[in-house]
Structure 1
Amino acid sequence: MFLSQLFQGEPILEAVAQNETRINKQLNNEFAPVNTLQRALLVWDPDSLPRFGADGDYGDETASAVTRFKQDVLVVPADELIADVGPRTVWRLDEISYGAQDHPQTPFVPKVIVKLRDESAAQIPYEDNAQEFLPPEDRTAWDMAAGAFPDLSLTLNRALPGVDPEAVRQWLSENEAAHGTPSQQLLSFYVIPLPADSSEQVASAVDALPFVEHAYVEQEVIPASVTADDPLIVGQGYLGAAPFGVDGLHTWALPFTDGSQVRFVDVEWGWQLTHEDLIDTNGVNRVGILPTGTVSTDSALVNHGTNTLGIVMATDNEKGILGLAPNVKASVAPVETPAGTDAVAAALAVVGTIPGIGAGSVVLIEQQDAQHLPIETDLFIRLAIQELTRKRITVIEPAGNGLGAGNDLDTFVAPGHLFDSGRIFDRNDTTGAFFESGAVMVAAATSQHPHQRMRFPVAQPQASNHGNRIDCYAWGENILTTASLLDPVSNQPYRTNFGGTSGAAAIVAGVAVVLQNIRRSVQGDFLAPEQLRALLSDRSHNTGPAPADDGRIGVMPNLAELEQAVRTL
């Protein structure tokens, strides 16, 4: 039975039927009718069928279709589906508990990050052991501070060791010319490597030096993901029609939506780029690796990156799943250094200097800090993000998964060593502490409508951060995407339970790519980051959350409306 016959006259489900041919071709196996319905939130464990009515019931409009679906179309319980459907099976990963609290890298040894006053930085070459080039008065002050730590042999090294300083200066100069305002001087940042746990004392001493603007302890960065312990839900339901998903099904059927005119960069640790759904139809790698760091081989971090890429760009190749923008020009920017540490700001600085990544590009930063706060809590990262947006690059940033009930970003007060103390994420702050990085900040919500702020039932409970700084939300659970853990040899694994603000941010990044691609194809230009963010967060076009979370997690993008708005803005 064809879906178009089964669901004729059912408005919510007709969009599925309209996409039947393309979706069945993409999945191409003996369970294609079932898998087609997976794409539209309709194949679940039979006892967990989705509720479509505003009150949580099926609703009169769809009740008869759901009844016919259960009677006339093969419905396979989740466990049987996993066991029996064959080579394109969707794997259960419930037993794998890798969340933001389980960062598996080598033990983190923080550095002190130092921002020199711009006039002081301009007097010395951008080299390691920069203390050797300080003017005499500044060198005397440095020696006195360093003398308090005789066992540490303090040195002032470049914070951007892999970056061409002239390329950075050119990038920042172009930003100044374009905006008519000074750029952030990223080459004013240095680091003090420390062999022992005395970073707070060193930071305090260095922060007091007259030629230093800020000195603070580097925060560890971790994935903004959570593997929830919910029952298995099969399908790319996050692509369903609003108000349930972002309506990727709608845009797949339209021209100019494949992402082919847009550059996309994923900033994190590792990826399995040979995955069957991340290579092109000829088996050739589609993803470039930018020279920002070392690609991690840690299985959990590789899995996280593979999860992210599948949501945005999984190939239209009759296998597995389909990304929101399957033909996007994708690159990855690894943040791990050869020493096993992370250098997110340095990676962003490299991205900013690459000529082909500019207006219209979308950069996704898939980290939060170790305090489960947005990654831009770090001063260096914050300023790097701001300069990327000034280059007309849209930056997508997870809001983070806070411990317990999640962090209220409105009331978070940054320590002085990270920012000038104040409510840096509160748009309503009247003291001037709020800082606008320009990033699109994304929270996580439940997959069930009406969407509620996500609370993760993991061993160490977490919840999506919330506050008026947040622009958008998307699903933070039950996300079907590419994976690398179970079968790295055959390159065919998928997972159904990716989540957290990492998963939500990847969905919003995919939407951003689609919208920029439409704009470029129709109008010949790209939206500025602030224009695109305004669209993504516009309450009149998008899906709002449950009343209790209104104003706390933004809105969920609705491509069916946004693709029309972006053509005429």
Structure 2
Amino acid sequence: MSQEAQKIAMTPQQGKPELIVIFESSAGVRAQSSPGMTAVASSSGNDVSGVQSILSKHNASLKLLFGPNEDRLRASLVAASSTAQKIGQTPPDLTPFYSVQAAEDKLDQLAKELRAERTVKAAYVKPGAAPAIFAQPDKVSTAAVASVTPNYQSRQSYLDPAPKGVDAAYANSIVGGSGERMKVCSVEFGWLFTHEDLMENQSGVIAGTAPVADNHGTATVGIVGADKNPYGVTGIVPRAISCASSVVDQTVAAAIKNAADKMSPGDIIFMSLHRPGPNTTGSGQFGFIALEWWPDDFAAIKYATSKGIIFVEAAGNGYQNLDDPIYETARAAYGFPSSYPNPFNTANPSSGAVIVGGGAPPEGTHGHSWWGPDRSRLAYSNYGSRVDCQGQGYDVTTTGYGDLQGGGRPELYYTDTFSGTSSATPIVASALCAAQGILKDFGRRPITGEECRQLVRSTGSPQQDGLQGPKEGQRIGNRPDLRQLIPAALKLTEWRPNARL
């Protein structure tokens, strides 16, 4: 295998821990960083010398999380408010959020000392995010690669009519159903946008630095927008513009905010990542949960949805009931502020994101049936009242990895075994993109995040009982069906003014 092939075949990486500080809004903190030091000041005359002393003692620096400086961030929030008001939304205040750069072994102590400062509302350490793939696909196939890649579309059951799939052909038979003129952004570690099946409708990395190619991101983007041609796979919305925001040189929250600033109302951001939560044991992915549980990630997602952007988020592969009381009680132990209540509790304010669980694929997919009945909850998938809908969580055929077609060139890799809430999330994102594209062509306004949540909960192919027991109490929701979703979206918007934001 070539050196480049070895790089892309590597196991997806996990991000580094992050220390996030939320200052009191009245503190008026301003931070000016240079290599090795940070000058902390207060525009409102508050005493921030204690914060300065703590940073200096630990050789740490402070950086505004959501912008290059305080003035530019405030200007961007004013602009976002103008868009948000058109759909009756108010973007969250992102100005109090800062990140601390320091040696990893000092982060917990720094957080403890910072929490004691009067101007600090909260300080917490977040474990690194990781791709929400459940099982790493088999090793790269060494079989000879044909001069022209075979057509694998028949293996993409998620394209099929319901209940097997989302019925992509139905959507694509309607003008705009291919997602034409829509933009879909992946928040990820890396992608291979030179893949042979990702050449036509992509704009590459729009925020952050282009990272080393990675199979996981390549597989998720292939589900969404793989080119419509006679070979390889076909995306659910092949005419949508695929793009990406990298978490290699940005925090996850910053990657979301920076992507949202380059997108328009109705566009889609999806995130096939999860993070170790309070029940994590260190054994595999047990205890991993959706990222919005952390206040800065929640705020970034809320910022995107308040601008009319649809955010689709992996529920995570942690075997967790997200209704577990620990997601309430552990927030204080983590150092979260009480003003950011548990978002998994549906009685609390919502981020507006569509959260996606992992469901079993149709029986017999690729000759397998060991996972249980179609659309039943897969054992690894998190579940609960906050989970809105499901996508296929095993045996997904897409670009990348090389277990279906391998050889020595990553640009020709395909997989038959992509899995996890990683595979489920872009399937749902694509279905919503198809509906938005059709709404635009009918001159309707785009549907909002909360309306998307309503639609995927009220339409689709229903969840079934599974090997884990009855579906009651194990909610992952319905699998989207575009033949139901699109008419429901049109009906939802038909009484509104035919205005585009």
Q: Is the alpha carbon distance of 1:176 and 1:265 closer, same or farther for their aligned partners in structure 2, counting shifts above 3 Å?
A: closer
Q: Is the 8 A contact 2:435 2:486 kept in 1?
A: yes
Q: Is the 8 A contact 1:269 1:295 kept in 2?
A: no
Q: 1:558 aligns with which of 477, 481, 484?
A: 481
Deviation by residue 1:68-117 (Cα, 9 ceiling, x = unmatched): xxxxxxxxxxxxxxxxxxxxxxxxxxxx998xxx6535xx6533211112
Across the aligned residues of Structure 1 and Structure 2, the Cα RMSD in angstroms comes to 2.9
Q: Is the alpha carbon distance of 1:111 and 1:326 closer, same or farther for their aligned partners in structure 2, counting shifts above 3 Å?
A: closer
How much does 1:328 deviate? 0.3
Q: Is the alpha carbon distance of 1:145 and 1:523 closer, same or farther for their aligned partners in structure 2, counting shifts above 3 Å?
A: same
Q: What is the 5 A alignment of 1:365-514?
A: 365-371=271-277, 372-402=288-318, 406-411=319-324, 412-413=327-328, 414-416=330-332, 417-418=335-336, 420=338, 423-427=342-346, 434-448=348-362, 449-455=373-379, 463-483=380-400, 485=402, 486-487=406-407, 489=409, 491-514=411-434
Tell me the TM-score normalised to structure 1 length. Answer: 0.70
Query: Structure 1: which 5+ residue stretches go unaligned?
Result: 1-95, 281-285, 429-433, 456-462
How much does 1:511 deviate? 0.2
Q: Is the alpha carbon distance of 1:294 and 1:242 closer, same or farther for their aligned partners in structure 2, counting shifts above 3 Å?
A: same
How much does 1:229 deviate? 7.5
Q: Is the alpha carbon distance of 1:349 and 1:488 closer, same or farther for their aligned partners in structure 2, counting shifts above 3 Å?
A: farther
Deviation by residue 1:41-79 (Cα, 9 ceiling, x = unmatched): xxxxxxxxxxxxxxxxxxxxxxxxxxxxxxxxxxxxxxx
Q: Is the 8 A contact 1:97 1:227 kept in 2?
A: no
Find the structure with the greater CA-based Rg. Answer: 1
For the residue of structure 2 that corresponds to 1:165, the secondary structure is: helix
Query: Sequence identity, in percent?
Result: 27
Whether 1:260 aligns to 2:180 is: yes
Higher percent of residues as strand:
2
Amino acid at match of 1:454: L
Amino acid at match of 1:191: S
How much does 1:140 deviate? 3.1
For the residue of structure 2 that corresponds to 1:426, the secondary structure is: coil
State the alpha-carbon separation in 1 of the partners of residues 176 and 80 from structure 2. Answer: 32
Q: Is the alpha carbon distance of 1:146 and 1:297 closer, same or farther for their aligned partners in structure 2, counting shifts above 3 Å?
A: closer
Q: Is the alpha carbon distance of 1:180 and 1:275 closer, same or farther for their aligned partners in structure 2, counting shifts above 3 Å?
A: closer
How much does 1:535 deviate? 0.8
Query: Structure 2: which 5+ residue stretches go unaligned?
Result: 1-7, 142-151, 278-287, 363-372, 493-501
Q: Counterpart of 1:3?
A: none
Q: Is the 8 A contact 2:77 2:91 kept in 1?
A: no
Whether 1:515 aligns to 2:420 is: no
Q: What is the 5 A alignment of 1:126-525?
A: 131-134=39-42, 137-143=46-52, 145-146=54-55, 150=57, 152-160=58-66, 164-165=72-73, 168-174=76-82, 177-178=85-86, 183-227=91-135, 235-280=155-200, 286-297=201-212, 302-337=214-249, 343-354=251-262, 357-371=263-277, 372-402=288-318, 406-411=319-324, 412-413=327-328, 414-416=330-332, 417-418=335-336, 420=338, 423-427=342-346, 434-448=348-362, 449-455=373-379, 463-483=380-400, 485=402, 486-487=406-407, 489=409, 491-525=411-445
How much does 1:134 deviate? 3.0
Q: Is the 8 A contact 1:272 1:484 kept in 2?
A: no
Q: What is the 5 A alignment of 1:95-114?
A: 103-104=12-13, 109-114=16-21
Amino acid at match of 2:491: T
Alignment coverage as a number of residue pairs: 434
Amino acid at match of 2:336: L
State the alpha-carbon separation in 1 of the partners of residues 253 and 60 from structure 2. Answer: 22
How much does 1:362 deviate? 0.6
How much does 1:369 deviate? 1.0
State the alpha-carbon separation in 2 of the partners of residues 419 and 549 from structure 1. Answer: 34
Q: Identify which range, 213-222 or 289-298, moves more after superposition.
A: 289-298
Q: Counterpart of 1:545?
A: 464
For the residue of structure 2 that corresponds to 1:217, the secondary structure is: strand
Q: Identify which range, 136-145 or 391-400, moves more after superposition.
A: 136-145
State the alpha-carbon separation in 1 of the partners of residues 377 and 383 from structure 2. Answer: 8
How much does 1:203 deviate? 0.7
